[in-house]
Amino acid sequence: MKQIWQSDRVHEIKRVNARFLGIGAAIPDKVVTNLDLESMVDTSDEWIRSRTGITERRVVSDDSSTSDLGTEACLAAISSAGIDPEEIDLIIACTSSPDMIFPSTACMIQGKLGIPSCAAFDVMAVCTGFIYALSVADAMIRTDRYRKVLVVGADAFSKLIDWTDRNTCILFGDGAGAAVLEPSDDGGGILNSYLKADGSGWDQLYVPAGGTAMPASADTVQNKMHSVRMRGAEVFKFAVRAIPEACTEVLRGTGHSLDDVDFIIPHQANQRIITSAAKKLRFPIEKMPSNLDRFGNTSTASIPILLDEMWRSGALQSGQLLITVGFGSGLTWGANLIRWNGPKFVGGDIN
Ligand code: ACO
- Given 74, 107, 118, 127, which residue is catalytic? 127
Ligand 1 site residues (CB inside 6 A) read 43, 47, 51-52, 96, 126-127, 166-167, 170, 205, 230, 232-233, 235-236, 239, 269-270, 297, 299, 328-329
Q: Residue whose CA is closest, atom 39 of ligand 1?
A: 270
297 is an active site residue = yes
| The predicted structure's pLDDT at residue 347 | 60
Q: How far is the CA of 70 from the centre of ligand 1 (A)?
A: 29
Give the pLDDT confidence of 270-296 residue by residue, as tens digits.
999 999 999 999 999 999 999 999 999
Report the C-alpha dihedral over residues 192, 186, 91, 251, rounded to 10 degrees. Answer: 10
Distance of CA 191 to the CA centre of its chain: 18
267 is an active site residue = yes
Q: Which residues pair with 339 in a beta bridge?
A: 189, 321
Nearest atom in ligand 1 to the alpha carbon of residue 169 is 7
Q: How far apart are CA 41 and CA 27, in angstroms?
A: 24
Q: How far apart are CA 266 and CA 131, in angstroms?
A: 10
Nearest atom in ligand 1 to the alpha carbon of residue 43 is 1
| Per-residue confidence band for 348, with pLDDT thresholds at 50, 70 and 90 | low
Give the pLDDT confidence of 287-320 residue by residue, as tens digits.
999 999 999 999 999 999 999 999 999 999 999 9
Give the pLDDT confidence of 6-50 residue by residue, as tens digits.
444 445 555 689 999 999 999 999 999 999 999 999 999 999 999
Give the pLDDT confidence of 229-280 residue by residue, as tens digits.
999 999 999 999 999 999 999 999 999 999 999 999 999 999 999 999 999 9
Q: Is the pLDDT of residue 2 over 70?
A: no
Share of the chain above pLDDT 90, in %: 91
| The predicted structure's pLDDT at residue 351 | 33
| The predicted structure's pLDDT at residue 336 | 98
Give the pLDDT confidence of 135-181 residue by residue, as tens digits.
999 999 999 999 999 999 999 999 999 999 999 999 999 999 999 99
| The predicted structure's pLDDT at residue 342 | 85
Q: How far is the CA of 334 from the centre of ligand 1 (A)?
A: 23
| Per-residue confidence band for 350, with pLDDT thresholds at 50, 70 and 90 | very low
Q: Residue whose CA is closest, atom 15 of ligand 1?
A: 167
256 is an active site residue = no
| The predicted structure's pLDDT at residue 349 | 46
| The predicted structure's pLDDT at residue 346 | 63
Report the pLDDT averaged over residues 65-76. 98
Share of the chain above pLDDT 70, in %: 94
- Given 34, 270, 297, 341, which residue is catalytic? 297
The residue among 186, 327, 172, 320 whose CA lies nearest residue 244 is: 327
**Most distant CA pair in the chain: distance in Å?**
67
